[in-house]
Amino acid sequence: MKFTVQWRSIALLGLALTASACGNAFQAGTPPGFVELPDQEEYDYRATNADGLVLAVRELEHEPKGELSFWTKAIEKQLRERAGYALLGTRDVKAKTGEPGKQLRFGHDQGRTPYLYYVTLFATDDKLFVIEAGGTKALMERHAAQIDWTVANFEID
Amino acid sequence: MNLWIHCMPRGRVWLTCLGWLVLIWCTGCAGAKQSEAAAARAPGAAPMPQAAYGGEAALYADDAQEEVAADSDRRTAQAPAAGVPGRAPPVAPPASGNEGTAASGSLPARDPKTLAAPLLIYSANLQLAVFEAPQALDRAEQLAKEAGGYLVRRDDRTIVVRVPAAGFHGLLDRMLGLGDVLHRNVSVRDVTEEFYDLQIRIRNAELVRERLEQLLQRAQKVEEALAVERELERVAGEVERLKGRMKLLSELLAFSTITLEFQPRAVQHVESSVNLPFPWLQQLGLGPLLSL
């Protein structure tokens, strides 16, 4: 009996450790009208609405260490100079848990259709959190409140 | 006088009188000829130079000097405004109306180096990378109109506007802010020499035309009249051609041309830069995000 309890405790501890190792260090709220997509490989979280507006979060190891301004600039340069996006503006944001972040708003013409792509970045000592939102300009403008809600309700553990 | 007559032989007196009569008659004829010519002249035709039958070179030389002096004064007055954007708007030079009719074809050559200010035609070609080209086109057109310019041509990606030369540089700066500059070409053309050369050529051609009109009035035979008319037609055409060129030049001096070509932002138009060694940066973008 004693043996069984001991093994059960070890198994639970192992499960807890495994869950801790594989889990995310953030909690992203899925806004109304969106569904979270399961089994994501490139993203740690991804959700979409029926129209095709997509929200996603990447959690990255903060290595090498850099300030928020460095990563913001790195993203801006990458998207403007290499990927052909136009920077429409930047704004300061704050996570629900109080961490300061930066949101970069990009535009991109796909044929005759304009698209908007928002990248929001939070940096902690250990992690970088990149929240992405993208879709046609009309869609993004129509669902601006949901995007803002996602950022404002983003929690970092 | 009486004593002089009495002292002369009788035959000599008659001869002298005859001489005086012939002289008076000749003078009268010449006056009548001039009156007839004036009466026969078409309304509005340029007045015939008084010394058209003699000493005309001297007369034209004087006129030429007056014209040069007047022209010099005019240029001095125009100098600060002569087609130099950023200073003051260029005063569109007169399209050589009747000012040259009294001038000579032997005007002294003008040295452009002595001119107070050069006559410059500015133009710019810009290629800008933008997001949403139609909006950028609208903005460019609006900026041009605010600067007193006007739209020349516009299509999906390109807009050509003309703006007062004085506002050229200011507008150019504002246009450059519409997007990322991929290519910029600002050109300046000095037309000072061509401009004054045109003025002289127009004056000369008008003088020739005037002279031909006079000849036409004096033509005695039909063949002569026809030949003069043919030449008159050719010269009149030349005058119109030169005046057209002068008008175009004046227009180009008064308004600068800005051609803007907007391109969607694309990788191939952007200069290469440092590629940061963070793979996740390369994975950012709408492509991966929207491929569900």
Kindly write down the DSSP assignment for every residue of A30-77, as one continuous string.
Answer: PPTTEEEPSS-SS-SEEEEETT--EEEEEEEE--S---HHHHHHHHHH
Q: Kindly give the residue spans of alpha helices, DSSP state H, lying in chain B.
A: 2-7, 10-40, 56-78, 133-146, 168-176, 192-218, 222-254, 279-282, 286-290
In this prediction, the answer to ipTM > 0.95 reads: no
Residue ranges of the domains in chain A? Answer: 25-156
CB contact under 8 A, A84 and B264: yes
Q: Which residues on chain B are in Cβ contact (under 8 Å) with A110? A: 286
How far B181 CA sits from the closest chain A CA (Å)?
13
Q: What's the full length of chain A, in residues? A: 157
Share of chain A above pLDDT 90, in %: 71
CB contact under 8 A, B273 and A134: no
Buried b (16+ CB within 10 A) or exposed e, A70-96: ebbebbbbbbbbbbbbbbeeeeebebe
Q: Which residues on chain A are in Cβ contact (under 8 Å) with B133? A: 109
Query: CA-to-CA distance for B162 and B153, rounded, in angstroms?
Result: 10
Share of chain B above pLDDT 70, in %: 57
Buried b (16+ CB within 10 A) or exposed e, B213-251: bbbbbeeeeeeebeebeeebeebbebbeebbebbeebbe
Q: Identify the weakest region by mean pLDDT among A37-46, A115-124, B52-61, B221-230.
A: B52-61
Residues 67 through 126 of chain A touching chain B, CB cutoff 8 Å: 74-75, 77-86, 88, 107-110, 114-115, 117, 119
Q: Which residues on chain B are in Cβ contact (under 8 Å) with A117? A: 285-286, 289
Q: CB-based contact (8 Å) between A147 and chain B?
A: no
Looking at CATH, the fold of the domain delimited by A25-156 is given as Protein Transport Mog1p; Chain A (3.40.1000)
Query: CA-to-CA distance for A90 and A92, rounded, in angstroms?
Result: 7
Q: CB-based contact (8 Å) between B265 and chain A?
A: yes
CB contact under 8 A, B130 and A86: yes
Average pLDDT, chain B: 69
Nearest to B37 by CA among A67, B29, B247: B29
Which residue in the set B179, B270, B273 is minimally distant from A84, CB to CB?
B270
Q: Compare B63 and B180 and report the one with higher pLDDT.
A: B180
Q: CB-based contact (8 Å) between B288 and chain A?
A: yes
Angle at B101 between CA B100 and CA B102, to 5 degrees: 95
Query: CA-to-CA distance for B36 and B40, rounded, in angstroms?
Result: 6
Interval A33-80: pLDDT, tens: 999 998 888 899 999 999 999 999 999 999 999 999 999 999 998 998
Indicate if the pLDDT at residue B203 is higher than 60.
yes
Q: CB-based contact (8 Å) between A140 and chain B?
A: no
Share of chain B above pLDDT 90, in %: 35
